[in-house]
Structure 1
Amino acid sequence: MKYPGRVVRLGEADPKVVKAVKAQLNKALHLAQEAGGALDEANPNFGVTTEQAVKLFQSRNVDALRQPLRQDGEIGALTWAALFGEANVPVAEQAGTPLLQKVVEVAASQLGVREKPKNSNKGAEVVAYLHSTGTAPGNPWCCAFTYWCFGEAAKALGVANPMLQTAHCLTHWNGAKQQGAQRVHKSDAVANPALVKPGMLFIIDHGGGSGHTGVVERVAGEFIHTIEGNTDGSGTREGGGVYRLRRKIDTINKGFIDYA
């Protein structure tokens, strides 16, 4: 059964969803052989007993990154994928507009760019990213990288660059709506990963005015595949190059910006 686009929890009102969840839990946990017996699939109520069964399932299973599932009794996309299979969670590989698709392509063309010298926030490509936003060499450049990608994509298509011109992640988040973009907040994205599309930009707030951003390349359930500047293989916000990474949607603590 396909993920319904929301967190399934205590009190779920859709009887088809509840029946499917109970049937899958019975099968996955072999509940007919347990002391309490199987869940009643004919009962459309997602009650405390079903919630406890979900917690049991979560305690015995992991997500696609082999990380333990959160044992909260709620079925988000990660638990749904573990319960019903990865093929039953949202997957998006194509951006919604030609411009955003071009942004993804431009970002991918920069994979392998590295700071020169190391840990300097400099180098020919990095300086060009920063220059596009009017920012001096030596500054953090993840947001400038996304602006440069939008600029190159817009130039290739003969259209105006819609992105707010800034090298500061949180300034971008705060000003995106006035620029005509839509914002998808973390809570909405976690509940319904289908809201997140390729070509969107993610924003992470690290506190103290610092943040990190990058381009969403692909979405698979509660995971996003990204292309990011000023990072490295560990996903830090102060790395030395452009990398392709995978992140959980629930680690994107601000949300996503959509210029579709």
Structure 2
Amino acid sequence: MKKTAYQKELVIKATQKRKGTDNNKKDVMKIQSWLTLFSIRNPISGTATAIDGDFGPATERSVKNFQSFNNLTKTGIVDQELFNTLSFGLKDAFEKPLISNNLRDLMVEVAENHLQQHPFELEIQGQSNSGPWVRSYMDGHDGSPWFWCMGFAQSILDQAASATGENFKTLMPLTYSCDTVGNTGLEKGLLSRFSKIRQDPSIIKQGDIFLIQKSRLDWTHTGVITAIKGDVIETIEGNTNHQGSRNGVAVMKRTRSYRRSKIDVFSIEPLV
């Protein structure tokens, strides 16, 4: 795999605890981030806390609440073993053994694996598009300017292609820009325009990458096509929300009408 930034999100340099001599601000912020992400999936857990890098009494209580919720000894201390439990969803999304044997099925399988772990962004120090999931998809970058839908789509492509021994960068450059991928698709003859797709829906195949067109050379959002059903595509996409925003908060499964939206499609066929 080419996109390996997620590995840094799975480790802390030393055990972190209240008034710990080895406390590290970045590690504490990682812990606070995972505690808050856990609270999004488990709102009764009482693990949401400020993400400020200070392992104070609130963080200690949040850790104890996490331990209690998971039937673990309530120490309030985070060593690597406990951090593994906190961050398990990320590791599972990127490293779960795959069972599909062709790229198109792998694209769907990998995207589903990520979806099941509820990737979600955080707001940290006033910056949206932040947190361990975003940094994993965006090669270590996060913060409000870092729209991460293409980072997510390329992470899925990278993981799936790597499972077949292929390098996704032979298909498209590593980028966070929908425009770059769209123009690459035009140059290589791999991008089908929405008008052509409406005339011949058989062009669309599962595992391909959709791009929502704003104007002829401007695309605003992307994701992975997981199924085609009548006039609708089913997708899994990052940095979206229930309204289908291009700057939402999570990875979500959506349905989109290719007859009502200007949806262009980038084919992954050269790697199949």
Q: Normalized against structure 1, the TM-score is what?
A: 0.57
Aligned partner (choices 152, 163, 168) of residue 156 of structure 1? 163
8 Å contact kept, 2:213–2:264: no
Residue 194 of structure 1 deviates from its aligned partner by: 1.6
Q: Distance in 2 between matches of 1:213 and 1:200?
A: 10
Work out whether 1:116 is the aligned partner of 2:122.
yes
Q: Distance in 1 between matches of 2:165 and 2:191?
A: 25
Residue 231 of structure 1 deviates from its aligned partner by: 0.1
Aligned residue pairs: how many? 160
**1:100 matched to which residue of 2?**
104
Residue 155 of structure 1 deviates from its aligned partner by: 2.1
Residue 182 of structure 1 deviates from its aligned partner by: 1.4
Q: Distance in 2 between matches of 1:136 and 1:107?
A: 21
**2:190 matched to which residue of 1?**
182
Work out whether 1:232 is the aligned partner of 2:238.
no
The letter for the 2-side match of 1:156 is A
Aligned partner (choices 154, 159, 165) of residue 174 of structure 2? 165
Q: 1:204 to 1:130 in 2, by over 3 A?
A: same
Work out whether 1:145 is the aligned partner of 2:159.
no
8 Å contact kept, 1:199–1:217: yes
SS at match of 2:256: strand
> Aligned-pair RMSD on alpha carbons?
2.2
SS at match of 1:158: coil
SS at match of 1:109: helix
For residues 135-165 of structure 1, what are the alpha-carbon distances to aligned partners after superposition, in whole Å with 9 as ceiling and x for unaligned? Answer: 7312000011111111111222222113331
8 Å contact kept, 1:150–1:163: no
For residues 105-151 of structure 1, what are the alpha-carbon distances to aligned partners after superposition, in whole Å with 9 as ceiling and x for unaligned? Answer: 111111121112387112212111111xxx73120000111111111
Q: Normalized against structure 2, the TM-score is what?
A: 0.54
Q: 1:211 to 1:141 in 2, by over 3 A?
A: same
Gap runs ≥5 in structure 1: 1-96
**1:259 matched to which residue of 2?**
268
8 Å contact kept, 1:190–1:250: yes
**1:56 matched to which residue of 2?**
none
The letter for the 2-side match of 1:171 is T
8 Å contact kept, 1:181–1:258: no
Q: Distance in 1 between matches of 2:263 and 2:206?
A: 17
**2:17 matched to which residue of 1?**
none
The letter for the 1-side match of 2:163 is A
Q: Distance in 1 between matches of 2:219 and 2:185?
A: 17
8 Å contact kept, 2:239–2:247: yes
Q: 1:210 to 1:187 in 2, by over 3 A?
A: closer
8 Å contact kept, 2:182–2:219: no
Q: Distance in 1 between matches of 2:193 and 2:163?
A: 30
8 Å contact kept, 2:194–2:258: yes
Q: 1:170 to 1:250 in 2, by over 3 A?
A: farther
Q: Distance in 2 between matches of 1:195 and 1:249?
A: 12
SS at match of 1:250: coil
For residues 20-65 of structure 1, what are the alpha-carbon distances to aligned partners after superposition, in whole Å with 9 as ceiling and x for unaligned? Answer: xxxxxxxxxxxxxxxxxxxxxxxxxxxxxxxxxxxxxxxxxxxxxx
**1:195 matched to which residue of 2?**
203
8 Å contact kept, 2:151–2:175: yes
Q: Which has the larger radius of gyration?
A: 1
Instruction: Provide the identity percentage.
Output: 30
**1:11 matched to which residue of 2?**
none
